[in-house]
Amino acid sequence: MQKIKKYIGIAENKKDILSASSLVKKIFFDGDFNNQFLFPKESLKRENIVVIKYNESLVATCFIHNRIFYFKGDKIEASFLSYICVDINRRGQGISKNLINKAIELCEKRNKTVSFVIARKKADFFYNKFSFFGFSSYPTITIKSLPKTSTNDNFSFEEIDTAYLPIVEKIYDNIYKFLPGSFYRDQKDWQFIFKKSKLLNVFLKAILDEENTIVGYIAYKENQIIEFALKEGVNYSNIIISFNKNNGFDSLTFNLGINHPITPFLKDYDITYTIRKCWYGGHMMRINNEKYFLDKLDKIDNNKYLQLEESDSKKIQFDFLLENKLYDLPPSSNIIYNIPFMDQI
């Protein structure tokens, strides 16, 4: 029997990139691949596509997209592992294990402090084997029975264009850099978000006051508010009233937590807060550089971690390094982690 020639590493040529895209199309998309495939164009390069080939035939792939992640005021190097897949005829042979280990190895060599996977339901528990753990709390705030009130302030909502973007960028950054789970966004990131919003029918609107000054922005789909950020000093409640005057929803659900600056403005509404913790799936994170996180701990916590390392699971170590205390009730504001929908890949 002829020995199989195996290759695992980054795509070697354009043919590998096309073969990887073809496999992704076959596994993930039944319809129009070109109009459904979401991946930043600048990352579709050889060095960001991990492949496994048997006798020059591609059998598995993983796409890597690099981002800057906010953690406690720092900007840290991060990466998403996306479109992880193995040819149907090659499953059950340990190929996915080799694929993910190679992707992790590349991320570590490239000094990515953390890596992320947005895992599908059918992959529950799978990524735990590679020290990825669910860390988001999927917060929501729902306003029920929106009152028919009015405000003396008039606001308009206009589609974000290139002229508005520099101001919107600053407003986003001033709010979201303090919300755990968020990412820094440059213009390329925003361009991808515009593309994603159109594909998924998400509205991205700048909020303007009576003097046509941009005071914030909002991302929404029907009554689901995906992102919401305002300049300091602007009343969130007045914006909500103006927004719903234009849309007439019976209720609004915000994909935000109690650590968002909207919270103090909601005291007069009938509201429901929810969080959810799923350590084995969903928004998953892997710590590639433990030293960075250890340096964030004080000396007492550092000693505790060294004790944990000898006796406890990777999950407990992960929770400790992230200071994840979602099992405490009520949850404190600094541990509401969530990857914004528009940044998920």
Residue 193 covered by a domain? yes
Tokens of 176: 């979201």
Regions in the chain scoring below 50 on pLDDT: 324-334
Which residues span the domain enclosing 185? 140-274
Q: Which residues pair with 111 in a beta bridge?
A: none
153 and 242 within one domain = yes
Q: What pTM did the predictor assign?
A: 0.90
pLDDT per position as a tens digit, 49-93: 999 999 999 999 999 999 999 998 899 999 999 999 999 999 999
Query: Are 82 and 149 in a shared domain?
Result: no
The reply to whether 83 and 186 lie within a common domain is no
CATH no. for residue 32?
3.40.630.30
Asked whether residue 93 falls in the same domain as residue 199, the answer is: no
pLDDT at 324: 47
- Residue 297 has a CB neighbour count (10 Å cut-off) of 15
- Would you state the structure tokens that stand for residue 250, as one six-digit string? 């019976």
| pLDDT value of residue 294 | 84
Specify the pLDDT at position 312.
58
Do the domain assignments include residue 157?
Answer: yes
Residues 345 and 284 sit within 8 Å (Cβ to Cβ): no
Residue 131 lies in a domain: no
Q: What are 228's two structure tokens?
A: 């919401």
- With 0-12 CB in 10 A as exposed, 13-18 as middle and 19+ as buried, what is 345? buried
Residue 314's pLDDT is 83
pLDDT of residue 141: 97
Residue type, 191: Q
Q: What pLDDT is stored for residue 332 in this prediction?
A: 43
The total domain count for the chain is 2
pLDDT of residue 154: 87
Dump the DSSP string for 61-76: EEEEEEEEEEETTEEE
Q: What is the pLDDT of residue 149?
A: 67
Q: For residues 58 and 52, is the Cβ–Cβ distance under 8 A? A: yes
